[in-house]
Amino acid sequence: MENDCLFCKIIKGEIPSSKVYEDDDVLAFRDINPAAPIHILLIPKKHIASLAEVKKEDGELIAKMHQVVNKIADQEGFKKSGYRLIVNCGKDSGQEVMHLHFHILAGVKMGDKIV
């Protein structure tokens, strides 16, 4: 946990969030500024600053995050229609919050342009 990290504060409950899924390892909540009808952020409870900081010992956690994405897709009813998973990493991607997060976008037919 990092004291000045926004997402660590959300994990600790110091900042409210609209929770979608939680277990011992991960937390998912709705993005405050959604880019699609469904926009969920999935984060590890362990503070990892970005994808670039993922270590070998995080392998199980990262694999679990992908399993949880599908659990959420099932739970929220968009497993069949599909979704897009985005991870911003570093300056050029526009990463604003330095705590690893998966953007799960769904609920609309998306185009093929990223930028």
Residues within the interface to Zn ion (CB under 5 A): 2, 5, 7-8, 47, 99
CA distance 101 to 3: 17
Q: CA-based angle 101:93:42, to the nearest 5? A: 10
**Candidate segments 29-37, 64-72, 77-85, 107-115, binder of ligand AMP by CB under 6 A:** 29-37
Q: Phi/psi of residue 21, each to 5°? A: -160, 145
The one of ligand AMP, Zn ion, none whose footprint includes residue 104, by CB under 5 to 8 A per kind, is: none
CA distance 90 to 83: 23
70 and 21 in contact (C-beta within 8 Å)? no
CA distance 61 to 66: 9
With binding defined as CB under 6 A, does residue 17 bind ligand AMP?
A: yes
With binding defined as CB under 6 A, does residue 95 bind ligand AMP?
A: yes
- For residues 33-52, which are near ligand AMP according to CB under 6 A? 33, 41
CB of 33 to ligand AMP, least distance (A): 4
Residues engaged in binding ligand AMP (CB under 6 A): 6, 15, 17, 29, 31-33, 41, 88, 94-97
